[in-house]
Amino acid sequence: MEKLEILEKIFGHNAFRTFQEDAVDAIVEGRDLLMILPTGGGKSLCYQLPSLLMDGVTVVVSPLIALMQDQVRGLSENGIEARTIHSDMSEEERQVVFMELKRGIVKLLYVAPERLSSMNFIEFLTTLKINFFVIDEAHCVSEWGHEFRADYRKLGLLKEYFPKSTIAAFTATATPKVAEDIQKALRLENPVSLRGSVFRNNLKVSSEKRISNGRTQLINFLNKHKNQAGIVYTFTRKEAEQTAAFLQSKNFSAYAYHARIEASEKEKIYQDFLFDRIDIVVATIAFGMGIDKSNIRFVAHTSLPKTIENFYQEIGRAGRDGLDSETLLLYTKGDEIQKRELMNNIDSEEYKEVLYEKLQKMYHFALSSSCKHKLLGVYFGDKVEVCETKCGSCLKDPVAQLDVTKAAQQFLSGIYRVGQKFGQNHVIDLLRGSKSEKLLNFEHDKLSVYGIGNDRSKNEWGMIADRLFELELVGVGEHRALKLTQKAKEVLKGTLKVWIDEDKVGKGVKIVKDEEDNEPKNELFESFRTLRREIATEFDIPAYIVFSDKTLVDLSKKLPQNREEMLDVHGIGEVKFERYGEKFLDLSLELKKDLS
């Protein structure tokens, strides 16, 4: 079959998306490839389709077992022979795959990078007809990336073991520096370089200063996404468990996921999420990289990620099917300070400074009132115009500016009066006239600034502190102690004013009434969704592998009445139609009749 025929009959698409055909052509022509394409841009098809056009087996290097299993399962549903070899398999199971590879049955083989460190495995691969190698999540190759893995770095040896083989490297996140490092580390020879736009027009990106523990803000966000799939990222295991318990008390279908949970329980939660039996996973970063679930509608962070790369990859798990999705980042300056302290144990001073800089840029991104998508574009070296309607900054009504110079002078004076040896909470307690034991033990209640800011809440002072950090009037020294910068002297002298958005000095947040019941539901979509869940249960596969949400939306709009019309629906190829199409067609006929 030709590539367009495979695209339509096997994958159920009528046309290639941006850069997909370029990538397919490069691989078929035997060119090395480096493709940087946001999550949801269709990277997998770029190497799966050419594999079907070429003789031999494609070896795909992937970082997580769960990700490999999901890919193999999805390919199998499209009638493509794919296998994986990983550490959780028995020796007998691995031997079966080896035999299938020798017999030429397998088209795509998924392995972890560690597997290619074994000379026995390398020698076995030399006995096969390999058409090309794929390096997925290629940013893991780079020491300047956010998820460096030493075993990925060794993949540059593939060019020595298989000098005539093509290598196609894919990632969703790479700055120009990381992209250059990937090319050098993998020894790509004059590669075709394809970089998609960072901007994802189906993803709304917002950040808010976390008020108190942020739970009210989180509830307000989740109330907009009732009965939808999503991920809530937390910083610690304890927070994941406490947040999940809190959400359960508010009648959300939410479960915690982190590294300390028993393997069997983690697998159950993971499977329940894939099969749409639960809506929300509250997780540390131990969860998500291997998720191939296409119908995740939202991602929330309860604290600041370490890098913009981490953040971009994690929010990228929402809306992979192209439908509108939303993200929320809650943050405070304390998040940055806490994560900076955790980096102090890193031996390499050069690497530590790189991570410090990345963390600072992440904080400034969260704090900024500029277009979030444009900021992401700047970071990744992509020219992105102001989105106007797809981020919290652009959707925000014009806000009046408040002159908080007097409050800024009080805060800076507080830092100075305690000798620049104490942290933010202590300074705020000082200004508010707290009777805390620590403050009294140091006799700071006798300082001239004690109690001069008792007219403001802790939250307000926190917002003002954030603004001072943003303006680089305050820095952080050892043990989180606040330090004055040279620029702070201008504020203290009254020669520089400090302004802040009026809404950033609020008294707190209230739960927004859930108006979901007042909004009309798409009953056609829900009917198809129910059938999808039943079929997924019957065949013991994740619901999104049967058909994606985008396919269900297209079904709801078109209500096809025959086989030809069904094959015109997004994501329905001949293989999928043969397996599930009749039941959906019957339902479509019934729904059309009801509407007549």
What CATH number corresponds to the domain at position 528?
Answer: 1.10.150.80
> Identity (one letter) of the amino acid at 38?
P
pLDDT in tens, the chain (596 residues): 799 999 998 988 889 998 999 999 999 999 999 999 987 788 999 999 999 999 999 999 998 887 788 889 889 988 999 999 988 889 999 999 999 999 999 999 999 999 998 999 999 999 999 999 999 989 888 866 656 777 888 899 999 999 989 999 999 888 888 899 999 999 999 999 999 999 999 999 999 988 888 999 999 999 999 999 999 999 999 999 999 999 999 999 999 998 888 888 988 998 899 889 999 999 987 665 556 688 999 999 999 999 998 899 899 889 988 899 999 999 988 888 888 888 888 877 777 888 888 898 899 899 888 899 999 999 998 999 999 999 999 998 777 788 999 999 999 999 999 999 999 889 999 999 999 999 999 999 999 999 999 999 888 898 899 889 878 899 888 777 899 999 999 999 999 999 888 776 655 555 555 444 333 347 898 899 899 989 988 888 888 889 989 899 999 999 999 999 999 998 898 888 998 999 999 999 999 888 87
> What SS3 string covers 15-77?
CCCCCHHHHHHHHHCCCCEEEECCCCCCHHHHHHHHHHHCCCEEEEECCCHHHHHHHHHHHHH
How would you list the strands of the sheet with 325-331, edge to edge?
A: 203-209, 325-331, 296-301, 229-233, 280-283, 254-257
Residues 486 and 420 both lie in one domain: yes
The upper half-sphere exposure of residue 395, i.e. CA atoms within 13 Å in the direction of its Cβ, equals 10
Residues 76 and 165 both lie in one domain: yes
d(Cα 520, Cα 542) in Å, to the nearest integer?
Answer: 27
DSSP codes joined into one string, 231-270: EEE-SSHHHHHHHHHHHHHTT--EEEE-TTS-HHHHHHHH
Within a domain: residue 396? no
Within a domain: residue 429? yes
**What residues make up the domain containing 407?**
401-505
Residues 102 and 17 both lie in one domain: yes
C-beta of residue 329 within 8 angstroms of C-beta of residue 301: yes
Residues 475 and 560 both lie in one domain: no
Burial class (CB in 10 A: 0-12, 13-18, 19+), 126: exposed
Instruction: Sort strands 499-501 and 401-403 into parallel, antiparallel or unpaired.
Output: antiparallel
d(Cα 495, Cα 131) in Å, to the nearest integer?
Answer: 68
Q: What is the pLDDT of residue 543?
A: 85
Within a domain: residue 392? no
Q: Phi, psi at residue 240, to the nearest 5°?
A: -60, -45
What CATH number corresponds to the domain at position 268?
Answer: 3.40.50.300
Residues 495 and 527 both lie in one domain: no
d(Cα 407, Cα 504) in Å, to the nearest integer?
Answer: 14
Q: Which residues contact 64 (CB under 8 A, 6 or more apart)?
A: 112, 289, 290
Q: Which residues pair with 328 in a beta bridge?
A: 206, 300
Q: Where does a domain end: 387, 409, 428?
A: 387
Element (H, E) at 11: none
Q: What is the CA radius of gyration of the chain?
A: 27
Q: What is the pLDDT of residue 275?
A: 87
d(Cα 178, Cα 138) in Å, to the nearest integer?
Answer: 10
Within a domain: residue 394? no
Residues 157 and 219 both lie in one domain: no
Tokens of 17: 């998306």
Within a domain: residue 395? no
Give the total number of structural domains in the chain.
4
Q: Where does a domain end: 387, 420, 450?
A: 387
Q: Where does a domain end: 387, 409, 430?
A: 387
C-beta of residue 243 within 8 angstroms of C-beta of residue 256: yes
Residues 362 and 426 both lie in one domain: no
Residues 449 and 569 both lie in one domain: no
> What SS3 string covers 538-581?
HHCCCHHHHCCHHHHHHHHHHCCCCHHHHHCCCCCCHHHHHHHH
Torsion sign over Cα 87, 93, 95, 97: negative
Q: Phi, psi at residue 420, to the nearest 5°?
A: 55, 40
d(Cα 119, Cα 218) in Å, to the nearest integer?
Answer: 50
> What SS3 string covers 468-497?
HHHCCCEEECHHHCEEECCCHHHHHHCCCC
Within a domain: residue 67? yes
What CATH number corresponds to the domain at position 488?
Answer: 1.10.10.10
Q: What is the pLDDT of residue 147?
A: 67
Residues 272 and 381 both lie in one domain: yes
Within a domain: residue 31? yes
Within a domain: residue 280? yes
| CA-closest candidate to residue 366, choices 409, 433, 315 | 315
DSSP state of 119: H
d(Cα 68, Cα 290) in Å, to the nearest integer?
Answer: 8
**What 3-state class would DSSP assign to 229?**
strand
| Nearest-10 Cα torsion for 45, 47, 48, 54 | 140
Instruction: Sort strands 254-257 and 130-135 into parallel, antiparallel or unpaired.
Output: unpaired
d(Cα 527, Cα 153) in Å, to the nearest integer?
Answer: 48
Residues 256 and 338 both lie in one domain: yes
d(Cα 24, Cα 19) in Å, to the nearest integer?
Answer: 9
d(Cα 293, Cα 296) in Å, to the nearest integer?
Answer: 7
pTM of the complete model: 0.74
Residues 280 and 361 both lie in one domain: yes
Residues 485 and 530 both lie in one domain: no
Torsion sign over Cα 400, 406, 411, 415: positive
Tell me how far CA of residue 194 lies from CA of 135, 239, 260, in angstroms.
Answer: 15, 39, 39
Burial class (CB in 10 A: 0-12, 13-18, 19+), 14: exposed
Tokens of 447: 């300082």
Q: Which residues contact 160 (CB under 8 A, 6 or more apart)?
A: none
| CA-closest candidate to residue 505, choices 410, 371, 402, 365 | 402
